[in-house]
Each structure stands twice: as C-alpha cells, then as structure tokens.
Amino acid sequence: GNSVTQMEGPVTLSEEAFLTINCTYTATGYPSLFWYVQYPGEGLQLLLKATKADDKGSNKGFEATYRKETTSFHLEKGSVQVSDSAVYFCALSTGNQFYFGTGTSLTVIP
C-alpha cells in the first residue's frame, strides 16, 4: 500500500540553524511527492513538490530531492527564520488520492 513516514517532532531550532525533516515513503507505481506547510489555525499550503525521481523541489529557501533508491524526500533549509515556525507535512500522490505523514511541528526561536 501507500504510506508516508515522517520524522516526529516537535523540532525546536534557533534562528539561522540548519533544518532537516526526514520523510520516507512506500508506494506502488510512481508517485509525486509534496511538502505542505500549515501555519496555526490555517489550512495547508503547498511548499514544494517533485514529480519524478531525482527531481528537486524548492521554494522559499526550502529544498527536497526525490530519492527513489532510498524512497525518501527529506526537507531541508539552510537557515531557518522565526517565520518558518509551522507544522510541515510530507505527502505523496498516486494521481487521485493523497497520503499524508503525521506532520512535524517546527518552532524557531530568536
């Protein structure tokens, strides 16, 4: 079946620290992979995506590379800001349906 396993949080970092949130997946076929961000009290916003192996998605300083050999899509950012504090969800889609990880809460302190 299809599933997403995401690094558990919460994660607390100082401003300008390096961020990695691990995500691995199990899927049949060739899924697309996504990272969504959810700010307090809001819905999900697409952060970045990758649709095939070796693709790198990037947005707002965040990056993730679709690694088929390790079935991973780890989220990274070189220097986090206080405004990056949110919950991050890794997800995969096989075309019609999405499968979400459990979410990782990130708090960035000044």
Binding residues vs other proteins (CB under 8 A): 32, 36, 41-46, 49, 51, 89, 93, 95-98, 100-103, 105
Q: Between 78 and 86, name the residue whose CB sits nearer to other proteins.
A: 86
Q: Which of 9, 72, 67, 15 is nearest to 38 (CA)?
A: 9
Q: Between 19 and 90, name the residue whose CB sits nearer to other proteins.
A: 90
Dmax of the chain from CA atoms? 43
CB of 109 closer than 8 Å to CB of 12: yes
Q: Between 28 and 97, name the residue whose CB sits nearer to other proteins.
A: 97
